[in-house]
Amino acid sequence: MTARPAPPPESLAELAAGEAVAAMVAGRFGARDYAEALLAQAEDGAGLGAFQTLDPAHVRAAADAADSALARGEPPGRLHGLPIPVKDSVATAGITTTAGTRALASFVPQADAAIVERLKAAGAYVMGKTAIHELSLGWTSDNQAFGPVRNPWDPARIPGGSTGGSAAAVAARMAPLALAEDTQGSIRVPAALCGIAGFRPTTGRYPSAGTAPISPLFDQVGPLARCVADLQLFDHAIAGAPPLPPLPAGEIRLGMPRGFFFDGVADDVAAVVEAAFDRLRAAGVTLVETEIAGFDDLFFDVAMPIQMHDLGPSLRAWLAEVGAPVTFAELVDMASDDIAAVIRNFATPDAGGAVPEARYRQLVEIELPRRRAAVADWFAAQGVAAMVFPTTLVTAPRIGDLGPQAGSRELSFFTAIARNITPGSSLGLPGLVLPAGLSPARLPVSLELDGPAGSDARLLAIGATIEAIMGSLPRP
C-alpha cells in the first residue's frame, strides 16, 4: 500500500492543534511530517529569538516515537504527536532549563515539571524551550543575559513577557499550542501583543510544581494558542473537563468597568476595542456599563508585597527541588544588573524593601481573601459572566522603550502594559485574551475577559462565541 503524501509544510503549519491531532490520528500525515513542517517554520523565524533551546534531532526522535506508538495500535492521547514549545522556566527532563538567567545556562533537570508530565501523558512532547524575561521578572522578554525576543508583527518591538518566546512561536506558526506561565500577566501580555489567544486559568487549575516561581499564591501555568478550540483542547487534556459548547450570543452578559480599565487607553487601541464591542452588540451579546471598586491599590499594596516576600524563599525551594547546581546567592550574583537589583531590594533578608512578616500575614490571611470575596460578590450583583476590557492600553512598544508610553495621556510602562492584567491574577480569576483587531500601524489589539473563580470552562465557551464574532487575525 502506497503511503499518502503529506500536505505541503506551509499548510501543516497553519493547522490548529486540534486539527493536526485529528489528521495524525486519522493517518492523513505522520507526526514526523508535522514536526518537519514546524521545524521549517522555526528555522525561517529564527531571527525572532523565540527559542532558547531547540534540538531538531530530539524533535524528530519524539515525532518518530509518536508515529511508532500509533502504528503499534496504542490509543492516541488528546494531544497525540503535538510538539509543544515550553517556557524556559518550566523544568524539563534532559533538556536545558535556564529560567532565562546565566547561572542556569547549562542546567539540565533530571525530572519534568508536573505540567510537562501531564502533557506527555496526553501524547504531546517538548518541542523546545522558549526564551523568557529573566527569571520571569518583567513584561518585555528583552533578556539582558541571552538577548531579546522579537515580535513577529514588527521585530523592532517587544512580544510581551515574561513568556515572549512561546507567544512569538505560536504567532509565527512554529507551533499551534505552547506552554506559558503567568504570575502577573506573563501569559496574557504576550498573547495580547502578539495577536493570539491566551488563557490563565483559575489559580490551581493546572499544576505549577517544578516551574521556577515568584509566588505560589499567584503563579499559574497555562496555554497560548491561535484559537479558543485549542485552549479548550489543552484544558481538557490537563484538567480533564470536557469543553462546553459555545454559548449563544444572546445568553452572554459581560460587564465593562470603564473607570479602571479604560482610563488612559491609547486612541488607536480604543478604536479597535470599541469596534469589537459594536460587533458583539450587533451579534446579541449584552455589554453592561459598570464600575468596580478596590482595584486601584490591589497590585502595589496587596499583591506585589506578597510576591516580593515570597520570591526569595520560593526560588530557594525550587533550586533545591529541581537539583540546580547553584545556590540562591550565586543565582543573584550572576543575574543581570536590573534583575539582581529587584531581588536584592525585595527578596533578601536585609532588603530595604522587604515586607515585615506581620504585614505579610495580614495581607495573605485577611486582605487578599477579603478582596477575592468582594470580586465574587461583584460578579453576582452585576449578573455578568465576565468583565471585558482592553488587555493593554497601548500596542507593542519598541524594544528598549521602558519610558512613558503614549496613551490618551502619558502613561508609565507598567500602566500601559500591565495595569489591566494584574487584578485578575491577584484575585486568582480565570483570564482569557483574544485578538480584537489590528491598529492602523498593523499591530495587534486585544480584549481580555476575566470570569469568576472556577468558571474556566464557561469562560472558554464564551470565548469561543466571541472569537467567532470577532474573527481571527491574519498571519504576521
Residue 308 clears pLDDT 80, i.e. is over it: yes
Q: How far is CA 426 from CA 367, 420, 429, 436, in A?
A: 12, 11, 8, 24
- For the chain, first and last CA: distance in Å? 40
Is 11 among the catalytic positions? no
Q: Decide if pLDDT at 132 tops 90.
A: yes
Would you state the pLDDT for residue 268? 98
- Report the alpha-carbon distance of residue 172 to residue 454 in Å, rounded: 32
Rounded-to-integer distance, Cα 213 and Cα 235, Å: 22
Distances (CA, A) of 468 to 217, 464, 473: 34, 6, 12
Residue pLDDT, tens place only, 419-438: 999 999 999 999 999 999 99
**What amino acid is encoded at 236 in this protein?**
H
Average pLDDT over every residue of 315-325: 97
439 part of the active site: no
Percentage of the chain with pLDDT > 90?
94
Closest of 140, 272, 226, 242 to residue 474, by C-alpha: 226
- For residue 235, is pLDDT > 90? yes
Q: Which of 136, 141, 162, 166 is catalytic?
A: 162
State how far the alpha carbon of 114 is from the alpha carbons of 92, 137, 392, in Å.
Answer: 10, 22, 31
- 18-290+366-470 to CATH, choices 3.40.50.1860, 3.90.700.10, 3.90.1300.10, 3.50.50.60: 3.90.1300.10
Band the pLDDT of 2: cuts 50, 70, 90.
very low
Contacts of 356 (CB under 8 A, 6+ apart): none
Question: Residue 27's CB: how many other CB atoms inside 10 A?
Answer: 11
β 220-225/197-200 pair status: antiparallel
Question: Annotated catalytic residue: which of 141, 186, 215, 426?
Answer: 186
Decide if 186 is catalytic.
yes
If you average pLDDT over residues 396-406, what whole number do you get? 96
DSSP lists the bridge partners of residue 145 as none
Judged against a pLDDT cut of 50, whether residue 1 lies above it is answered with no
The residues, any chain, with a CB within 8 Å of residue 190's CB and separated by 6 or more, are 141, 159, 160, 161, 162, 163, 164, 166, 167, 168, 180, 198, 224
Residue given cell 492523513 in the structure block: 28
- pLDDT 10s digits, 49-106: 999 999 999 999 999 999 999 999 999 999 999 999 999 999 999 999 999 999 999 9
What is the C-alpha to C-alpha distance for residues 200 and 222, in angstroms, rounded to an integer? 5
Q: Which amino acid is at 110?
A: Q
Q: Are 384 and 255 in contact (CB under 8 A)?
A: yes
Cell of 3: 503511503
- Sequence ranges of the chain with CATH classification 3.90.1300.10: 18-290+366-470
φ and ψ at residue 122, rounded to 5 degrees? -90, 0
